[in-house]
Structures are given as structure tokens and as C-alpha cells.
Amino acid sequence: MSAFDNLKGKASGLFGKAADAVRDHEGQVKQGIEKAGDFVDRKTGGKYAERIDAVQQKASGAVNRLRAQHRPGGTGATGGTDTTSTGTAAGTAGTETPSAPTEDAQQPDPTKVDPDLGR
């Protein structure tokens, strides 16, 4: 096993532990998201209120998706669209955070040089 594989395994384990902690304390995490956003909103005098609210909604949506991924007996799919308090879909197409590559994802060969890079 290479050092990279070892590191990747450790990172995966840490992510799993963090995800479990978020699932176990979902209410507290969401409350922290709300408090942090409100704090920043106060410190900026409401100048970025709409942006802060959008970030709070996306972060809460991420907690919801994380919970839905590993429901006991669940398939990992939520079965619907997560909506915000305004009834609109949380997130805009193309703005989601990309997930980590899976084990079977095609990784670039670090020993090959891309001719477009001019090296």
C-alpha cells in the first residue's frame, strides 16, 4: 500500500467520524450555523444579509443531505428536493460542491506531462 493510499484511507475515516458527529448532533450543528450567520450579519451591519442567508440555507441543506445519505435501512437518496423556508429549491444547478472522487474514478497519471502545459 502506498503512502497516498494510506493517507486517503485515514482521510476517509476522519470524514466518516465527522459525518457521524454531525448526524448525531444535527440540531446543534444547525443552531451553530444560524448563530454564526447572525453574528456575521450583525458585524457587517446587514450589508451582506442576503448572501449570509443563502450560505446558511446551503449549509443546513448539506446537513440534511448528510443525514439522508446514511439513514438506517435507507438507500442514500432523499427522494425529493430539499426546499428552503421560502419554498424554493436549496441551491442552484451548477453551484453544488463537488464530491471527492470515488475509488473507481479515473485518476491522472502523475508521471505523464500534459503537452498543453508547455513543460
Q: What is the pLDDT of residue 71?
A: 57
Find cell 505523464 and name the residue.
112
Per-residue pLDDT of the chain (119 residues; tens, 9 = 90+): 688 888 888 888 888 888 888 989 999 999 999 999 999 999 999 999 999 999 999 999 999 998 888 655 444 444 444 444 444 444 444 444 555 555 555 666 666 655 555 54
pTM: 0.52
Q: What is the pLDDT of residue 75?
A: 43
Q: If you ran DSSP here, which 8-state letter would residue 77 be given?
A: -
Domain range summary for the chain, segments of one domain joined by +: 3-91
Q: If you ran DSSP here, which 8-state letter would residue 83 be given?
A: B
Q: What is the pLDDT of residue 68?
A: 85
